[in-house]
Amino acid sequence: MTWLLANLETILLAIFGVSALVGGVLVVMLRQPMRVAMALISTMIFLGGIYGLLGVHFIAAFQVLIYVGAVMVFMVYVIMLLDPRDPATRRRFSGLVIPGVAVAAVVAGLLIRGVAADAGTGAAAAGAARGFSLAEFASAFLNKYWLHFELTSVLLLAAVVAAIAVIRANREDHG
């Protein structure tokens, strides 16, 4: 029991990590778009749990608020709007299964090599994870990176204008 409590953080991290990975596999494997959306939502919530365990609670909150609360709800609405008898939902994979898996395996292999090379050096093991405070994040966000923060508002404005333009172009096509 004491062992369990002493290693609780590691155990929870492992459970959340494995669950997120299972959700990711289900996103690729499931046939119905709605089930894919549910698998992706579970992956995002487990990732939010990992962020919470790492101590970055504000990112955990925004992961759930923005990804699950906004992006995925939007996605679920669109899935419900569309025709469930669409032939695209009957056949899961396109003709690119073998090259797709090969490309993903090559990318994963290259990334694994990079991480393993870093894990092999002693420098990585020297310092434990340090973490950072919300105050440090806030001052970096609004002092050092204020320009990027302002540029995101321009990006969002461009996105709104583009969304309206896409809809209006379609209206003019159909009278």
Partner 1 sequence: MDKTHALLYLALALFALGLCGVIIRRNLLVMLMSMELMLNGVNLSLVAFADRMGSAEGAVLVFLIFVVAAAEIAIAIPIVLLLAKSRRTLDADAFADLRG
Check the CA dihedral 56-124-136-142 and report its sign: negative
Site for partner 1 in 132-171 (CB under 8 A): 132, 136-137, 139-141, 145, 148-149, 152, 155-156, 158-160, 162-163, 166-167, 170
CA distance linking residue 148 with residue 154, whole number of Å: 10
Please report whether residue 61 would count as binding partner 1 according to CB under 8 A: no
User: Rounded to whole angstroms, how far apart are CA atoms 109 and 103?
Assistant: 10
Exposed, middle or buried, 18 (CB in 10 Å: 0-12/13-18/19+)? exposed
Which parts of 119-138 interact with partner 1 (CB under 8 A)?
A: 119, 124-125, 127-132, 136-137
**Per-residue burial over 135-159, b = 16 or more CB atoms within 10 Å of its CB, e = otherwise:** eeeeeeeeeeeeeeeeeeeeeeeee
Q: Which of residues 1-60 bind partner 1 (CB under 8 A)?
A: 10, 13, 17, 20-21, 24-25, 27-28, 33, 36-37, 40, 43-44, 47, 50-51, 54-56, 59
Q: Of 1 and 27, which has the nearer Cβ to partner 1?
A: 27
Q: Does 64 bind partner 1 (CB under 8 A)?
A: no
C-alpha count within 13 angstroms, C-beta hemisphere, residue 88:
4
In the complex with partner 1, the residue whose CB is nearer, 5 or 81, is 81
> Binding to partner 1 (CB under 8 A): which residues in 98-117?
99-101, 103-105, 107-108, 111-112, 115
Q: Which of 6/82 has CB closer to partner 1? A: 82
